[in-house]
Amino acid sequence: MATTTIGVRRNDAVWLTLLLALFVVINYVDRGAIGIAAPKLRQDLALDHEQFGLAVSAFAWIYAPAQFFIGWLTSRICVYRLIAGGLALWALATFSTGFVGGLAALVTMRLLLGIGEGVAFPCASKIIAAHVSPQHRGIANSALASALAIGPALGTFAGGLILAVYGWRPIFWVFGALTLLWLWPWMMASKPHWRTVADARAETPVSIWRLTRKRACWTMGVAHFMNTYGFYFLLAWLPLYLVENRGFSIIEMTSITTAVYLAQAVCAPLWGWLSDRLVEAGHDEGRVRRGLIILYQLAVGATILTAGLAQTRTVLIGALLTAGVFGGIGGFISYAISQMFAGKAAGAWVGVVNGIGNTSGIVGPLLTGWIIQTTGTNYLAAFLLTGAICLAGVPWWIFAVPKIEPDPELHPA
């Protein structure tokens, strides 16, 4: 009986992780659609660079603060149902973006998208912490990190083709409609784990305020800002930069951007596998995870600086592909570290870390739009700033984030 139970649990872990990975793919397909559509959307809606940056940042206006609330919800209601509700809302927002006629409507749809997509990582982290053993945290989270890159790769490839032939509005109609298809397999796989509100409340709730006072939690939030700043920059501005500033065609832009995200998608599970093997070999888990995130901040910061300073297409493309290779680390390692610190309270912990860290999605697009607008479509200063912020994560992880180990308050004996 024990063997059968273990087998069932492993099956649950595999299927739920795979579906969560697909969930993240869809999440980033829809989140990045505005960047893909940008070369024609900006012209059609008569948006300057500052207004486009405003529209991009609107997503994070609600997404970042909602992380605290959603983290609080994860220990109070059924996370499996919460994920389904969030996806339905963001699918509607994505589909409706195809009908907008101006900046106000575009901002409104971005806000709704931010509310819906806000459920993703706090809920996914809680589910992985509940179903996946510590020695497999790296590969489970790297599956989500790979999905995080497959989403923009798939979205850029499909969206770029749609953009070149049909224009920008069908991108949102197609993406929004396809998003809803995920609900059917999720309902089938997650139904055995559904809980009533009363069942969920039986779990000891975690105080968000108490977490924000923990040094490890808030310093990780600041570190996550430096992690996500570069990702948001490339997700929102890379397609526009390649077409507008470097003279690539839409098809060339589609190919380059897709290749960058595919490099990240392929390498993410390899980094996750490597980190798990090192832990299984007896290396301290906290040191392994910290070392990888430091490597990520250093490599991505350096490659973004190189891309901004590149004089030739070859150097530019090489730098972007290198950023993709090391970008696979950043998508999973902070969630694995959060699960190590917080255990079953990972949903609330990730809510705080994401809430602080994703303010980069507010500050970055606004600041980038202002820089480009005031420098006459010159992206160099924006690349230099982004690279510097990524590099600042290296000393922060070394000196500010405390020892990575299970928090005794959150891991009762």
- pLDDT tens, 326-369? 998 987 788 889 888 988 788 889 889 989 998 998 999 999 99
Which of 73-82, 138-147, 230-239, 387-396 ranks highest by mean pLDDT? 387-396
* CB 9, CB 136: distance < 8 Å: no
Provide the whole-model pTM: 0.80
The answer to whether residue 12 scores a pLDDT higher than 70 is no
pLDDT given for residue 289 in this prediction: 92
Which of 149-153, 217-221, 278-282 ranks highest by mean pLDDT? 217-221
The angle at the Cα of 400, spanning 395 to 406, to the nearest 5 degrees, equals 125
Conformational region of residue 255, where left means phi above 0, alpha means psi within -120 to 50, and beta covers everything else: alpha
Distance in angstroms (rounded) separating the CA atoms of residues 230 and 237: 10
- Per DSSP, the three-state class of 54 is helix
Place 310 in a pLDDT band, splitting at 50, 70 and 90: very high
More confident residue, 139 or 338: 338
Place 207 in a pLDDT band, splitting at 50, 70 and 90: confident
Residue whose C-alpha is closest to residue 64's, from 366, 395, 413, 382 = 366
Q: What is the mean pLDDT of residues 127-141?
A: 76
Q: What is the mean pLDDT of residues 179-199?
A: 79
The CATH architecture that domain 2-400 belongs to is: Up-down Bundle (1.20)
Stretch among 50-64, 197-211, 308-322 having the lowest mean pLDDT: 197-211
Average pLDDT, the chain: 88
The answer to whether residue 179 scores a pLDDT higher than 90 is yes
Distance in angstroms (rounded) separating the CA atoms of residues 286 and 405: 6
- Per DSSP, the three-state class of 62 is helix
pLDDT given for residue 311 in this prediction: 94
* CB 348, CB 72: distance < 8 Å: yes
What are the extents of the domains in the chain? 2-400
pLDDT given for residue 195 in this prediction: 65
Q: What is the mean pLDDT of residues 276-284?
A: 90
Residue 260 CA, distance from chain mean position: 16
- Phi and psi angles of residue 54, each rounded to the nearest 5 degrees, phi first: -60, -45
The answer to whether residue 194 scores a pLDDT higher than 80 is no
- DSSP per-residue letters across 196-211: -HHHHHTSPP--HHHH
Residue whose C-alpha is closest to residue 235's, from 322, 317, 315, 156 = 156
Q: What percent of the chain has pLDDT over 70?
A: 93
Stretch among 192-196, 238-242, 374-378 having the lowest mean pLDDT: 192-196
pLDDT given for residue 203 in this prediction: 57
Distance in angstroms (rounded) separating the CA atoms of residues 207 and 229: 27
Place 95 in a pLDDT band, splitting at 50, 70 and 90: very high
Helices (H), 74-212: 79-97, 103-117, 120-131, 137-166, 169-179, 183-190, 197-201, 208-212
Q: What is the mean pLDDT of residues 13-37?
A: 88
